[in-house]
Each structure stands twice: as structure tokens, then as C-alpha cells.
Structure 1
Amino acid sequence: MGPAPGRDVSHLGDFTVSSRMLAIAALAVPVGAASAGVSWALLRLIGLITNAVFYGRLGTALVAPGSGHHNPAVVLLAPVAGGLVIGLMARYGSEKIRGHGMPEAIEAILLGGSKVQPRVALLKPVSAAIAIGTGGPFGAEGPIIMTGGAVGSLFAQFLRLTADERKTLLVAGAAGGMAATFNSPFAALMLAVELLLFEWRPRSYVPVAVAVCVAAIVRQPLLGTTALFPAVGVLHLTYGVFALCVVSGIAAGLLALVATVLVYAAEDAFRRLPVHWMWWPAIGGLIIGIGGLIVPEALGVGYNIIGAELDGSIGLGLVAGILLIKTLIWSLSLGSGTSGGVLAPMFMIGGALGTMESHVFPAVGPGFWALIGLAGVLGGVMRSPFTGVVFAIELTHRLDALLPLIIGATTAYAVSVLVLKRSVLTEKIARRGYHLSREYDVDPLEILFIGEVMERDILTFEAHLTAEEALAAISDIDPATVNARRQLLYPVVGDTDRLIAVVTRSQLETAVHQDDHCLTVADLGLTDPVVTHPDQTLRAVATAMAEHAVDRMPVVDRDDPTRIVGLITLTMLLAGRLRDLQEARDTARVLHLRVIRPRRRPSTPAA
């Protein structure tokens, strides 16, 4: 296919980028290092509170609340006390510490100019450590994402940066914290792209990648370099296993649906309570305590249980209890507005689902079905299938499970998006009256050029015409000449038909009405109009119109800016949207099969 005739696109590129990207990438280095430090500090704080509350000792090692025998009163009342403290912190500190962190980070990015309050950066990790340390069935990653994002945002707020650059550093801190928590730099990048950046551009990706890499490197002496849940054994994959991965993905998608519905059903139920929201986390803590009495292993982050699911060493009775109780206490208590993350609970719940399936499905390898369930539930709950797949691989280093993971996570994602309008992350934003679309597509205005839609047959005025003569000329135009009558903006040309100004119909009418009809159109017109070129994209002209507050512009030759070649209006920009709509809606059969039949020979008459 040859180039479009007469069109030079050498001024356009794949991406719009400037050297400022490198400056933001340099700023992302300390943000990434700080986010790794925050991750380490939060995990140590969770360990400190867990050891003190459940084991009566000083220590910062991350331990499971339910791994030993405890006084039932402690199991029941510790989450209540933790919820009460969180309620007080939220009411008298900052209400933004409520929730699991990621919706709050998304809201700050989309609605708050990527500005996070300093108090949130301090109170969010402390409240999360209290919630998890007193037995809350949550993950640390959501609060770390919010806290790491707060670190990046605060750093950016001390500098003279744009809102987009603050967003980049906020996401850099969030993704860096996540990479340091799970030793999962690739999954952190995928989460940033799928959930936080809302764009795929070098200006944001490069600094975020820098922060993630720095955080992963800083993590090594602090938390180690090995996989969080190292894979064991060899997988024996067959065609039947691939088909069952679809079944597992459907089950994971349905479980994601149940968990999401439960979270917001619980939130609705708490809203109907005749008590202040400050007390809701304590009530949610009571639910946690009751669940902990039934299945103590459901309390806390649960890394030990996830590990047991992924190496196949967990019993059927315990995994059934985890699947039921963990799902209930996590979703119901999260609806109370307490502080905690969603990733680790989804790992445990998804792993439990897969472990249950392993007692029905054929043996493939230790923890294989738990891994498929983990990625499926994550892809279904968060609507992030890439993140689910990459997370599962980085947590286990089980690269040989890549294809089954893609099948399971994609199936769960398909079920989730078909059944639910919004995810557990975006529903909270929608309930505050805002809409968030996570569909990314090539802007149709970026594909079409001005020269394809502009009006070429336009009316121009000679510079010596008076306002009265010009207005009379417009009024005398044949009504059948629609374009000229609705043109509204008229180029003014000199003796050599070169553009010297533009004048509007309203300017002509005002001049005549105010008895300035003797003024020429050259005197009335704007002598330095905003112009564009036929080889420019519709997106570029839309940006220029928004920037200069105009709805129509003269189109001039790029090599000769005084030669007028057409006129572009705001209405014409809809041509790009119309083409996009037609491609999505109009159906057509392009290829046809022709059946060639043998010719019949004419029959010879009988002699």
C-alpha cells in the first residue's frame, strides 16, 4: 500500500514524548526506594502487632494469628478492638484511610489531581497494620499501594509539576510498594497499567518502571530475593487439563461475583444501621472474631495458608472452611469500611477454590489447581487478567503453567465482565457519583486527518470589503448553498489571495448594528488567527480548539501558512467518532464462496 497522495506525515510519531520524561524518571528513583522502605516497615509493624496481641511477645516477624492455640476471648475481641481504633482514626484523623486502598488511589488520580494528604500517608499504614495485626483477614498490599502512592504524591507536591506528572510519581510509589511486598516487579507494572495509570504512554510508563526496578532492588537485602511461594514438582499437562482450566475459570469468575456482591451488600447493610460509621469497623471486627473462632486459620494475611495451598499440603476440611469462612469474613468486614487490602485474601480464597477442584480434577502437579484458581479469582475480582497471570507466575516462578493460567484467568475475566458492570475496585467510586471506564482504545480522532473531513469550498472576503458589504453578500447567497450560509467564520484575503485575517458573522452583525459598517473586514478581523494544517490529525485540532476556546479554524498549507486551503469545524470532528461507531456497529460479509458446478453437456438427440 503506497502513501496517501499529497500527505506528509513525517511530523507525526508513534508517541508524544519530551525530555521531561527523563527528569520524572530521575525523580522516580527515590520514590521507588522509599516505597520499598514503606513496604518493609508496614510488614514489620503488622508482625509487631500480631505478636503482641496473639502471642504476648515482642517481635516483628510476620506470623499467622491462627497458627497457635489462643484464648477464645482474644480471638473474638481483638478484631473488635482493632476495628474500634480504626473507626476513631478515620473519624478524627482522615476518613480516607477507610477501605482497601486501591479505590482511594484511583480516586486521588482521577478526581483529586493526584494530591494525597500527608496525614493519609501516615494513618493509612498504621490503620492497616492494626486491622491485620488484630486478626483482620486482609492483605497488606492495598494499604502499601495507597501509602507508596502517598509518598510519591507528597514528593511531587513539593515540586512544580503538572497533575499528570504527579500522577506518574503517585503510581510509581504505589507500584514500587507492591513490587517490594511480593517481589513481583512485572506484576506491579501490569497492575499500574491495567488499574492506575489509565494510559499507555512513555511519559508515565518509563518513570513507573524505574521506580518498580529500584524498589525490587532495594527489597533484596530487606525481604530477600526468592519467590514468595516457590513451586514444587513437575506439571503433567494434557489437552483435557486445558479444557478443565476453562471450567476452573468459570468457577473462579462466579466466586469473584459472589465476593464482590457480598462486599457491597455488606456496605449497604452497614449504611442502614442506626449508628455512626465510626462504629462500623468494630462491628465488622465482631464478624471477624466469630469467623476466627470457627476457622482460626482464616485470620490475618494468611501467607502460610496460601503456601500450603500452592504446595498441596493443606487438608480438605481446612480448605473448605477457608473457602467459606474467609470469603464471608473478608467481604462482610471490608464492607464495614475498615482498612485492609484485597490481593492476599483473593490469593487465599482462589487457592482454596482450586484446592477443592484438585479433589475432583485429575492430578497435574502439586498446587496446580490452586494456582489456576488463584489467578482466576484475581482476574475476576479485579478485572485484571494480565496482572492475575503474571502475579501467579512471579509468586511461584512456575513459568510452565503460563498457558493454563492464561486460560483460567481469561475465562474468569470474561465471566466477571459479562455478569457485573463494575469490579470491587470501581463500584466504590461509582457509589460516590463518578463513572470510570476501563476500556482503552485507539482514539479515532488520531487516525483521521483534517484534510479528509475539512470543508474545501469556502467563502472568503477581500480585505477592502466593508462590514456592511460583507454582511449583505452573505445574506444574498442562494439558500441552496448551505455550506456558505452556515460557515460563520470567513477568511480575509489580500490582493494575492493570501490569508491576512479571519472575521466572524457575529463581528459583522455587531459592526453594522453599531454603525461601524464603514469599517473594512480587514479592520474587524483577527490578524493572527489560530490555524491548522491538512496533514494534522483530528485529535491535534481538537486539542487546539480546546486550548484556544474556538470551535472552527482555517486550514492553511504547511509550507505556505498564508495559503488558505479549507475550514475545519467542531462538528466535522465527529466524523472520526462516526467512523468508529460504524466499524463497531455495521456488519458486512466481505468474502463469498463461489460454488463451481460442472457444465452439463447438451444431450444428443436419439437417432
Structure 2
Amino acid sequence: MARPDPAPPELRTPRITPILEGRVAFIGALATILGLALGLIAEGLLRLIGLVTNLAYYHRLSSSFASPAGHHLGWTVLFVPVLGGLVVGLMARHGSAAIRGHGIPEAMEQILLNESRIPPRITLLKPLSAAVAIGTGGPFGAEGPIIATGGALGSLVGQFLAMSTLERKTLLAAGAAAGMAATFGSPVSAVVLAVELLLFEYHPRSIIPVVLASVAATAVRYALVGFGPVFPIPALASPTASTLGVYIAIGALMGLASVGVTKAVYHIEDSFERLPIHWMWWPALGGLAVGLIGLWVPRTLGVGYENIQGVLSARLAGTALLTLLVAKFLSWAIALGSGTSGGTLAPLFTLGGAAGALVGGGIAALFPGAGVDPRICALVGMAAIFAGASRTMLASAIFVFETTLQPLGLLPLLGGCAAAYLVSALIMRRSIMTEKLARRGVRVPEEYASDYLDQLLVRDFASRNVLTLNAGGTVQEARTWLETDIRGAAHHGFPVVDGEGRALGVLTRRDLLDPAQAVDAPLRSLLHRPLAIALEGNSLREAADHMVREGVGRLLVLDGARRVAGILTRSDLLEAHAGRLRHSERVQAEQAGPYPAPGETG
């Protein structure tokens, strides 16, 4: 009596990924709470920096934000940054070495290599070390440590609630963005910065929580300090076509400057690496340089937001501006290279603003009728040098707009930042954020594009001439068939169909040639798993993910009657990528244009 065909196994089709899942609402709610907390934490860290500054430079107990520039310590001011560096070195040695540096590269490294898991102790040690470093005169802005603290807190929440890697990354980025938004009242640029440096994607599932966190943090800032711009400046002159060209040229110049600044910082860091002493002592040596330069130019000590304000409002000019530019660069580069706890945003904004103002002032003096506004030049320099150094073109332009609320500066900012990015990327392979990671062997994504496989459909790449096996045939018959009829065939998997041509499963060459199989066994008896298929309208990304989940190297494509219409293999996926590469190479060849062959003259 013939054995009846087994019941058809369940068809397993690829998952259709929704635009958003309901859990995003939960992550968004957490991000909102995180943003509210970061708004308070940012204010607390600013007050902690103020407390350390007042104790170190004025010997008074106050948390009011104060600049060290007005101290009356005389030459003894040399020792204040040294002591601060010594404390930071001890905290790094006995607490966590991760508190060293500017924070964002370390957050990027945890995202790329450690599933966005930042050690919990960083949440406490980073702001404390930064408060000591900045409060004792370190030439850094408060925003860097606040961003790093926000990222660490977001990661901690994600670890505590046992979330997925993607959700932890989202909360880490949300915390970092909230920290920046809380410091400057710049929610849009904070979101864009998170996209350009931390998320490595542009997707609603991650953007929405980051936006909610930034908005919440900014709302707290507005409630605490008001709605005004961080760097208020008088109304700007409206840019013309000719002046816009000047501003873009200044942006390109800042691109060159960003390359020099980045190389200088890492050269100094390499010099510290060669010292015959433990790295714990390096911040103290850096502090000595900070103290010496601060004795010469007191304005270089501490956060220096008042310097940015002075540059943008044209209160600093001429020799004073040039002195600030040189001294601030030396102080910051040496301190950062020493491995103390600091940041890059405010120092680079100060350097770029000062350089832009100097160039703009010179142009205005030489060509008074040109209509160039030195304050716009300062704005462009401020944004463009950070855009070139960090490769955050949009975040830099939007940040300066948000912190000044000057709409007439937005067009020059966009043009200048684009020019700086272009020049920097042509000359320098990596940014000030990614160079450190590259030295550790970490590859950072340079660009974010839509998934190529998600744009292609199964029906366009599935192989149509499919060789099938009859479910009623025996193993021996299949082996003979393999050895004679299709000896040179490229296929390694064959659909098994019933008498009506309906697919029941797939058997591979390995299944058929397995010595453990009885030669007289019907092929249907070798089928033991559900049938994994793809639909004609599935994307290749959905199909590839389905292969991984099912642990198979091929998917059947069935028609409405469950008959085999095609088969999609890993080779078909590679062929899809081959098409992309061929198109890319053709475009590059067209862009390169005709060049004379070696030995020919053009």
C-alpha cells in the first residue's frame, strides 16, 4: 500500500518590517523622561563647575557660574590647573580610563563595539572629572561632558531595563542629544548631531525618541534660564550674492584650518604617548601648560563662553582677537592631548569664530564697500571649523543659527559649512572624532544610505529555471539523477514537489548524498522542516533576513497554486550587489572623464 503524502508543512514567509512598532512609544516616553532629567543634570553640572571655579580661583563657597579670568592669584594660578589635572589623572587611573578625552568618540566606540553598553560608573565619574578639569581652568566647554553624561545615562537606562541593542543605542543618542540641547537650547542641532555622529542611521524608530528627549531637555532649560539665545548679537547685514561668495570662501579656509587643528591635537597626543611616565600624570603636565598660558592670557582659562559672545558681538578685535586665537588653541590642544576630561565643541567654536572675525575684519578694512559683515564671518568661522573637524555639516550650521537666532546668517552658514566639509574630506581621511577610533582598529561608518537590498524585489532576481525532485522518487534515483543528468549544475538545493507540482520542501546535495540515508527511502521522508519561501513582492532585504532566521541558503518562490515559480539563492543576492557595484564603477568612470593612457600626451 502506497504511503500517503504527508500534510503540507507550514509555509514560512519573510517578515514584513513595519515603519514603526508600538514599542517605539515606550522608548519615546523613556527618552522624554531622560530629557527632563538631563535638563536638570545640565544645570547641576554647570553649578558644580561654578562651585569648583569659585573655590579654586576666588576661595569662596558659591555655585554661581564664574570665569577664572578675573582671578587675583598672580603667578600662583599656575598650580590650579596642575592640581585639577592631577585629580583627573587619579580618577581615571583608579576609577575608569574612559573619562579621558572629549567623550563623543568614546560613546561612538561603545555603540560600535559594545552594544551601546557604557559602564555605569562613567555616569558619575565623567561629570565629576569634567567639573574638576574645567573648574580648575581647563579650556573646555561644559557641553562635552554633559553630552557624554547624557549618553552614559541613556545607556544605563537601557541596560537596567534589559533592552535590545538598537533600543540602547537610541537611548544613548537621546541622552547625548538632550545634554547638548539642555546646555545651549538647541534641540534641532542636537538631533542632527546625534544622527551624524551616534545613530549611524536615519530611521523614525530612533529619530522620534531623540527628538522627544531634546525637546524635553530644552523645555527644562527654558523654564530655568529663559528663552533668549545663548549668544545674542545685534542684527546682521543681509548677505548679497558677492558677500555670500566671500563667506563660502571663509568656510573653505576654515576647512583647511580644521585639518591643521585635528592633526595638531593628535600630534600632541602622540607626543604624550612617548613620555616615559604613566598616563595618569599627563593631565597634570597639560595643566601646567594651561596655567602658563592662562598667566599670559587669562581669557583662555575655563569654559570661555564669554569669549564666543565677545567675538560674535565684535567686542574683541585686532590684537586681542589674534592673541586669544593663538593662546586658546595652544591651551586647548595641549590639555586635550594630555588625556584630561574635556571636550571639543566650545573650544573649536571659539577658534573658528576668532579666525573668521579676523579674516572678515581684514576684508572689511581693505574693501570697505564690499559689504562684508565681520560678525557673519565670525558665525561662519565658528560653524565651519567644527563642521570640517567633526564632519557634522548640518548640525554645525543649525547650531550656530539656534544659539544666535539670526536668520540672515543661515544661508552663509550652510554655504560655509558645506565648503569646510568638502575641503576637509578631500584632504583628511578621518575626523577629529573618528581618528582616535581608527587608531584602535574601529571602523566607523562614513556615510548613511538607504539599504540597497530593500529597494529590489524578489521577482526581479529569482532564478526561474528550477530543477525539481518528485516526492515519490527514491534517494537512489535522485543520486543517479545528480550524477548523470545535472553533473555540472550550479544549483545545490532542489525543490521537492508532489504529484500535482506543489512544493513540499527543499533538499540539498548534502541531504541526498548523506550515507546515512537508505537508498530506497522516498524523498518525502527526508523533509523534516517547514518550507521557507519568499513572495514575489518581498524585498531582497526581507528575503535575506528570512534566510538568516531560517538558517537556509535558498528560498522557494511560489505562485498562487503553491507551485514553484522560482528560487532565490545567496548567489542571486550577490548578483544584486554586483549590479550595484557595476553601476557605481560606471558612474565613477564617467566622472573621471577621459585621461590619456600612460606615455600619451593630452
Quick check: TM above 0.5?
Answer: yes
Query: 2:82 is matched with which residue: 80, 83, 93?
Result: 80
1: CA distance between counterparts of 2:513 and 2:137? 75
Partner of 1:194: 196
Q: Which amino acid aligns with 1:439?
A: E
Match of 1:138 in 2: 140
Aligned-residue Cα RMSD (Å) equals: 1.8
Q: Is the 8 A contact 1:105 1:146 kept in 2?
A: yes
Match of 1:315? Answer: 317
1:64-463 equivalences under 5 Å are: 64-74=67-77, 76-362=78-364, 364-365=372-373, 367-463=375-471
Specify the code of the residue in structure 2 equivalent to 1:524: L
Question: 2:571 matched to 1:568?
Answer: no
- Find the aligned partners of 1:581 and 1:24 in 2 and give their Cα distance: 37
Mapped partners of 1:490, 1:71: distance in 2: 86
SS at match of 1:553: strand
Higher mean C-alpha deviation, range 151-160 or range 80-89: 151-160
Task: Note if 1:466 corresponds to 2:474.
Answer: yes
Residues 361-380 of structure 1 deviation map (CA, whole Å, 9 limit, x = unaligned) = 23544622111100111111
- Contact 2:497–2:504 (8 Å) recurs in 1: yes
Q: Is the 8 A contact 2:16 2:542 kept in 1?
A: no
- State the match for 1:593 in structure 2: none
Indicate the SS of the match to 2:90: helix
> What is residue 500 of structure 2 aligned with on the other side?
496
- Residues 116 and 501 (structure 1), Cα distance of their counterparts in 2 relative to 1, 3 Å cut: same
C-alpha displacement at 1:527, in angstroms?
4.4
Deviation at 1:580, TM superposition (A): 2.1
Q: Is the 2:235–2:406 Cα contact (8 Å) retained in structure 1?
A: no
Query: How far does the alpha carbon of each residue in 1:211-241 deviate from its partner, in whole angstroms, 9 at most, with x for none?
Result: 1111111112223221001120331422221
Q: Distance in 2 between matches of 1:72 and 1:124?
A: 30
CA contact (8 A) 1:232 1:366 kept: no
Match of 1:51 in 2: 54
Mean Cα displacement is larger for which, 375-384 or 548-557?
548-557
Secondary structure of the residue aligned to 1:18 is coil
> Aligned AA for 1:563?
R
| Letter aligned with residue 51 of structure 1 | N
AA matched with 1:299 = L
Matches of 1:547 and 1:318 in 2, distance apart?
Answer: 64
Q: In the TM superposition, what whole-angstrom CA distance separates every residue of 1:139-162 from its partner, at most 9, and x where no partner exists? A: 111211111111112222221321
Shift of 1:126: 0.5
Deviation at 1:31, TM superposition (A): 0.6
Aligned length: 570
2:8 matched residue in structure 1: none
The DSSP-based 3-state class of the residue aligned with 1:531 is strand
What is the SS of the residue equivalent to 2:68?
Answer: coil
Contact 1:171 1:197 in 2 (8 A): yes
Aligned match of 1:595: none
Structure 1 stretches lacking a partner, 5+ long:
1-10, 591-607
Q: Distance in 2 between matches of 1:176 and 1:478?
A: 63
Deviations 1:106-135 (A, max 9, x none): 112221111222210000001011111111
In the aligned structure 1, how far is the partner of 2:63 from the partner of 2:23?
41
- CA distance, structure 2, for counterparts of residue 522 and residue 12 of structure 1: 30
SS at 1:237's partner residue?
coil
CA contact (8 A) 2:361 2:374 kept: no
Q: Which whole-Å CA distance do the structure 2 matches of 1:366 and 1:91 have between them?
A: 45
Q: Find the aligned partners of 2:379 and 2:83 in 1 and give their Cα distance.
A: 35
Task: State the match for 2:4 in structure 1.
Answer: none
Displacement of 1:405: 0.7
CA distance in 2, matches of 1:366, 1:411: 18
CA distance in 1, matches of 2:549, 2:360: 59
Q: CA deviation at 1:263?
A: 1.3
Note if contact 2:105-2:434 (Cα within 8 Å) is conserved in structure 1.
yes
CA contact (8 A) 1:467 1:519 kept: yes
Deviations 1:502-523 (A, max 9, x none): 111101111xx23611111111
Q: Distance in 2 between matches of 1:234 and 1:253?
A: 24
Q: Partners in 1 of 2:313 and 2:44 — Cα distance? A: 28
Query: Does structure 2 conserve the Cα–Cα contact (< 8 Å) formed by 1:253 and 1:413?
Result: yes
Query: 1:311-354: per-residue Cα shift (whole Å, max 9, x none)?
Result: 01113112111211211221222111110111110110011101
CA contact (8 A) 1:555 1:568 kept: yes
5+ residue gaps, structure 2, are 1-14, 365-370, 592-602
| Distance (whole Å) between structure 1 residues aligned to residue 295 and residue 193 of structure 2 | 35
**Cα deviations by residue, 1:154-204 (Å, 9 ceiling, x for unpaired):** 222221321111111111111111101001011111111111111111111
Question: Match for 1:25: what amino acid?
Answer: G
Cα deviation, 1:569-593, whole Å, max 9, x if unaligned, reads 1121123322222232214989xxx
Question: Which moved further from structure 2: 395-404 or 55-64?
Answer: 55-64
3-state SS of paired residue (1:492): strand
User: Which residue pairs with 2:367 in the alignment?
Assistant: none
Q: Percent identity?
A: 43
For the residues of structure 1 that align with 2:540 and 2:112, how far apart are their CA atoms? Answer: 25
Which of 15, 38, 43 matches 1:40?
A: 43
| CA shift for structure 1 position 68 | 4.3
Cα gap change, 1:141 to 1:462, in 2 (>3 Å):
same
After TM superposition, the runs of 4+ consecutive aligned structure 1 residues lying more than 6 A away are none
Task: Give, in whole Å, the separation in 1 of the partners of 2:33 and 2:337.
Answer: 35
